[in-house]
Amino acid sequence: MKISNYLLATVKESPADAEIASHKLMLRAGLIRKLASGLYSWLPLGKRALSKVTNIVREEMDKSGAMEICMPVVQPAELWMESQRWSQMGPELFRLKDRNDRNFCLGPTHEEVITDLVRNEYSSYKQLPAIFYQIQTKFRDERRPRFGIMRSREFIMKDAYSFHINQESLNETYKVMHETYSNIFFRLGLNFRSVAADSGSIGGSTSHEFHVLADSGEDEIVFSADGKYAANIELAEANLESPNKEEVKNDFSLIDTGAATSIDSITKLLRVDAKKTIKTLIVHGEDKEGNISNSLVALLLRGDQELNITKAEKLKGVYSPLKFASDQLISEQIGVAVGSLGPKDLDIYKIADYSVEGLCNFVCGSNTDGKHFTDMNWSENCSYDEIADVRRVQEKDTSIADRCPIEIKRGIEVGHIFQLGTKYSESMNASILDSNGKTTLMQMGCFGIGITRLLASCIEQNHDEKGILWPSLIAPFHLIILQIDGHKSADVIPVSESLYNKSLTLNIETMLDDRDKKTSPGVKFAESELIGIPHRIVVSPRTLKDNSVEHTNRQTGKETRVCLSEIEQFLKETVITE
């Protein structure tokens, strides 16, 4: 490709709303352009890299035995009503009507459509297992589109769905998909982790996410140093260090704590370790239909611990999404301001985290403004109704697998695999005849990779201060030839042209920067680094003086003078063998 006739849409400055490296670089290197919030056009360089990522995913999916299909983006509401997600999905679902006033949506995912397809096409257990996949545009009206294509409203996903006669078969395919995903991310050279995950609104039980490690990641993942435990922080469990054992005191005291209302100020005032305090958080409960109610629920945690909202939202009786009670509601119902709440004589449903279970002689609020109890212990009047895990694990905790230290890192979720069980086959009546001729619901799995997000994650892990460092597998081009000062020497243009043609005959994907003197050498050098082409060859009057050109490896920065007579061999050894 000759740059003089190519849309190399690089820009000097990144826009103010670009916060993370991949977003900035994708805009600056001219890979994407924003059309509207969360909607992007793919420019020629970006599209090439995207196609390569897509092809790697396709190759590995084909190897797994999955069948590629393509389902409509526009989906009839009736199917979503069958699965009950039409009402469950909320504003993230793009909804539309056709000219006859019928309801449709733009697919955010395709469980309903594939289940409908398979229930119509398949009838016998002998046809199973079956795995289908597609690589296609998805639509989600995200509350907060951000980081460019990382969280956009239109994005490309590889989504796969599997159908089974029994759980055993689903387990097998799940394992194959786990391996397939690992192969994909491994081939892309990514530093990633697979972690146990929450299955969220898609449903089902077993689920794993694949995260690319990056400080800009929106998720936090927890794993033990020996790799035996890995989970998304949303559901991660860990062993907590307990305070030293001591003798239980018989008497508690009620003391003035004045304006000290936070755990921090109480521990300072009373010179007590936060591990020996209890904090009381008040949230809204839910009624029988799962609607928000004004009957409040108390969550009790050790003072040095934080609440894990996802865990709390899963508790029966706690309204999801979690909503903290307002100061006004607390004062109306409990008669105290937030900073002096405590479990003793608190007449609402109380859920204690395991961290407070064995505590003795602790400090807690007294439900009287400006006063706390010290040396409090669990008793008939100071008790809880239920014990649960609602704690966010912390770095000093140890793994539940083997007490090994745990690490918490940020990750970008690039893939998610689920065992759906019969969630969709039941609501949509997708059954099949088993070996005894009995009608049985199919077991299902679903498996997603965010292709566009995956590309951004590759950049997030592969860049330096000058620009992108494409892994060669997905680099839009492998070689860029710079024509420098072509107007100063009669040889520069013919030599670079012939080198360009030679590279093309060697099947090397090559760019030739043949722009004339209006584009300065400095700009050509800087742009070649920004767009991250792995190999660069400079043809200039200076290099041609001794019949050579200069090769630079973008990754290592290594520069090599190569004689023109040896260039073909050099290209074969350096560029092609990669």
| Chain contacts with ligand ATP (rule: CB under 6 A) | 109, 140, 142, 151-152, 155, 157, 200, 413-416, 448, 450, 452-453
Considering only CA atoms, which of 378, 372, 380 is closest in space to residue 263? 372
Nearest to ligand ATP by Cβ — which residue?
450
Q: Is 54 or 355 the residue whose CB approaches ligand ATP more closely? A: 54
Q: Is 200 or 405 the residue whose CB approaches ligand ATP more closely? A: 200
Whole-number Å distance between alpha carbons of 487 and 498: 17
Q: How far is CA 332 from CA 128, 295, 366, 505, in A?
A: 60, 12, 16, 80
Residue 402 and residue 183 in contact, taking contact as beta carbons nearer than 8 Å: no
* Strand runs labelled E in 83-153: 94-97, 103-106, 130-139
As measured in angstroms, the least distance from the Cβ of 221 to ligand ATP is: 12
Q: Is 194 or 261 the residue whose CB approaches ligand ATP more closely? A: 194
Whole-number Å distance between alpha carbons of 462 and 472: 11
As measured in angstroms, the least distance from the Cβ of 421 to ligand ATP is: 16
As measured in angstroms, the least distance from the Cβ of 134 to ligand ATP is: 13
**Please, what sign has the CA dihedral across residues 296, 302, 303, 307?**
negative
Q: Tell how strand 443-450 and strand 278-286 pair up.
A: unpaired
As measured in angstroms, the least distance from the Cβ of 413 to ligand ATP is: 4
Q: Is 85 or 279 the residue whose CB approaches ligand ATP more closely? A: 85
Considering only CA atoms, which of 107, 109, 76, 68 is closest in space to residue 449? 109
As measured in angstroms, the least distance from the Cβ of 207 to ligand ATP is: 9
Cα 357 to chain centroid distance, Å, stands at 34
Q: Is 207 or 374 the residue whose CB approaches ligand ATP more closely? A: 207
Q: Is 415 or 486 the residue whose CB approaches ligand ATP more closely? A: 415
Q: Is 203 or 450 the residue whose CB approaches ligand ATP more closely? A: 450
As measured in angstroms, the least distance from the Cβ of 291 to ligand ATP is: 24
Considering only CA atoms, which of 438, 495, 394 is closest in space to residue 125? 438
Whole-number Å distance between alpha carbons of 549 and 552: 10
**Please, what sign has the CA dihedral across residues 75, 80, 83, 89?**
positive
As measured in angstroms, the least distance from the Cβ of 205 to ligand ATP is: 15
Whole-number Å distance between alpha carbons of 106 and 91: 12
